[in-house]
């Protein structure tokens, strides 16, 4: 059995933002992290350096939302992967 503390298991790009489904970010039922403390980290699928960071815009249970990275960064990188970071605040 795989052990983890945090895991993104799906992400979807909509016309307005990126929706991320993750376990282990909001630890207690009914308590959500402040959005101001979340960042979405976009990097090439090949695993190279970070392309862009955006601030979280929504956090509810296992669903998080972030704005798209700047289009100039996306076109240069091609296919992107996304991860979440908690920033003390």
pLDDT digits (tens, 9 = 90+) for 47-73: 778 888 999 998 888 899 999 988 876
Q: Measure the CA–CA gap between 43 and 4, rounded to whole angstroms.
A: 21
Classify residue 2: in a domain, yes or no.
Answer: no
**Mean model confidence pLDDT for the chain:** 82
Q: How many domains does one find in the chain?
A: 1
Q: Which residue has the tokens 């090439």?
A: 44
Structural domain that includes position 32: 7-86
pTM of the model: 0.79
pLDDT digits (tens, 9 = 90+) for 5-21: 778 889 999 999 999 99
Q: At 48, phi and psi to the nearest 5?
A: -70, -170
Helix (H) or strand (E) holding 34: none
pLDDT score of 2 more than 80: no
Q: Measure the CA–CA gap between 39 and 33, rounded to whole angstroms.
A: 12
Classify residue 72: in a domain, yes or no.
Answer: yes
Please, are residues 62 and 86 in contact by the beta-carbon 8 Å criterion? no
pLDDT score of 30 more than 70: no
């Amino acid at each position: 059995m795989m052990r983890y503390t945090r895991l993104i298991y799906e992400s979807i790009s909509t016309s307005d933002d990126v929706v991320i489904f993750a376990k282990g970010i909001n630890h207690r039922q009914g308590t959500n992290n402040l959005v101001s403390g979340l960042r979405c980290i976009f990097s090439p699928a090949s695993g190279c350096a970070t392309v862009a960071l955006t601030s979280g815009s929504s956090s509810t249970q296992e669903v998080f939302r972030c704005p798209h990275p700047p289009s100039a960064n996306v076109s240069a990188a091609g296919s992107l992967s996304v991860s979440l970071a908690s920033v003390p605040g």
